[in-house]
């Protein structure tokens, strides 16, 4: 059977992105999952002709810290409402001089240094070992790179995201260590990316650099991060407005076959 076009895209909004709809959402869905409730009711609307589902990762008013987010419920609620792909927005710190605050980053690899989060849907019964050799959907990444390059804003792709537990920021020693293998640092990519793969979804992370991590010899200040996020917000809305309608194509990726041969 040939693949069909994607018709519904899920968006998980991070810090600084509270919605994606011009003129507001058309509906809000309260979804119960086997893992509990998602961060907020799932909003539904239209972006350039594409059906889009939106959930704010940190809840209304940014009240849920990174280590307490119900990632499994967020992903499963989007799946229950028909999402075939998930695009996420994340704020990150930079570990590279050339990735200055305000830069959009498209990671292609990650390193997981989280400590206490449930990272799988497969807690018992049948066991699946999914491959995350290439964690992000190449179709979505290709489209995002094309839109990002055309935006004229600082944009970088092919970077490594190190995900830490949070909510605290790094020590100087940790930050210098992270620089040896990663380009940006954040607190929310994992386990979203692994859960999306287990649900055989296309997944993409759009990261916004808000600060230089403390390796730059200056402690990170939340006030400065919030100011940068506000500046990035308008550009992120514009990027999503152009990107999401382009994702309703017939997939050429293997994301939908992620569980093939992965079961024990």
Residue 62: CATH number of its domain: 3.40.50.1580
The 3-state DSSP composition of the chain as helix, strand, coil percent (nearest 5) reads 30, 25, 45
Q: Output the pLDDT for position 23.
A: 78
183 is catalytic: no
d(Cα 249, Cα 104) in Å, to the nearest integer? 24
In tens, the pLDDT along 69-104 reads 999 999 999 999 999 999 999 999 999 999 998 899
211 is catalytic: yes
Q: Output the pLDDT for position 16.
A: 65
Examine residue 186 and state whether it is found in any structural domain, yes or no.
Answer: yes
Examine residue 3 and state whether it is found in any structural domain, yes or no.
Answer: no
Catalytic pick from 76, 139, 183, 213?
Answer: 213
Examine residue 2 and state whether it is found in any structural domain, yes or no.
Answer: no
Examine residue 90 and state whether it is found in any structural domain, yes or no.
Answer: yes
In tens, the pLDDT along 95-106 reads 999 999 889 999
Catalytic pick from 76, 139, 183, 211?
Answer: 211
Examine residue 86 and state whether it is found in any structural domain, yes or no.
Answer: yes
Q: Output the pLDDT for position 220.
A: 67
Residue 52: pLDDT above 70? yes
Q: Could you give phi then psi for residue 237, rounded to 5 degrees? A: -60, -40
In tens, the pLDDT along 205-244 reads 999 998 888 887 776 677 776 677 677 777 888 899 999 9
Examine residue 227 and state whether it is found in any structural domain, yes or no.
Answer: yes
Examine residue 262 and state whether it is found in any structural domain, yes or no.
Answer: no
What tokens does 70 get? 């119900």
Q: Output the pLDDT for position 49.
A: 92
Residue 99 is part of which domain span? 8-257
- The total number of structural domains in the chain stands at 1
């Amino acid at each position: 059977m040939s693949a069909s076009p994607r018709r519904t895209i899920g968006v998980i909004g991070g810090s600084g992105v509270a919605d994606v709809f011009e003129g507001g959402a058309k509906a809000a869905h309260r979804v119960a999952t086997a893992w509990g409730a998602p961060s907020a009711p799932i909003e539904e609307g239209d972006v350039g002709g594409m059906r889009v589902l939106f959930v704010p990762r940190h809840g209304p008013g940014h009240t849920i810290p990174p280590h307490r987010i119900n990632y499994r419920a967020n992903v499963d609620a989007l799946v229950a409402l028909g999402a075939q792909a998930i695009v996420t927005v994340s704020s990150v710190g930079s570990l590279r001089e050339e990735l200055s605050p305000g830069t959009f980053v498209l990671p292609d690899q990650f390193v997981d240094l989280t400590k206490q989060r449930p990272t799988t849907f497969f807690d018992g019964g049948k066991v699946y070992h999914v491959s995350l050799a290439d964690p992000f959907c190449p179709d979505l990444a290709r489209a995002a790179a094309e839109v990002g390059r055309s935006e004229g804003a600082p944009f970088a792709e092919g970077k490594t995201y190190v995900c830490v537990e949070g909510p605290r920021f790094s020590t100087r020693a940790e930050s210098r260590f992270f620089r040896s293998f990663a380009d940006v640092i954040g607190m929310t990519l994992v386990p979203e990316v692994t859960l999306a793969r287990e649900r055989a979804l296309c997944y993409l992370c759009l990261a916004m650099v808000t600060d230089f991590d403390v390796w730059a010899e200056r402690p990170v200040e939340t006030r400065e991060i919030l100011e940068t996020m506000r500046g990035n917000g308008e550009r992120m809305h514009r990027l999503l407005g152009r990107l999401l309608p382009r994702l309703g194509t017939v997939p050429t990726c293997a994301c939908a076959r992620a569980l093939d041969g992965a079961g024990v």
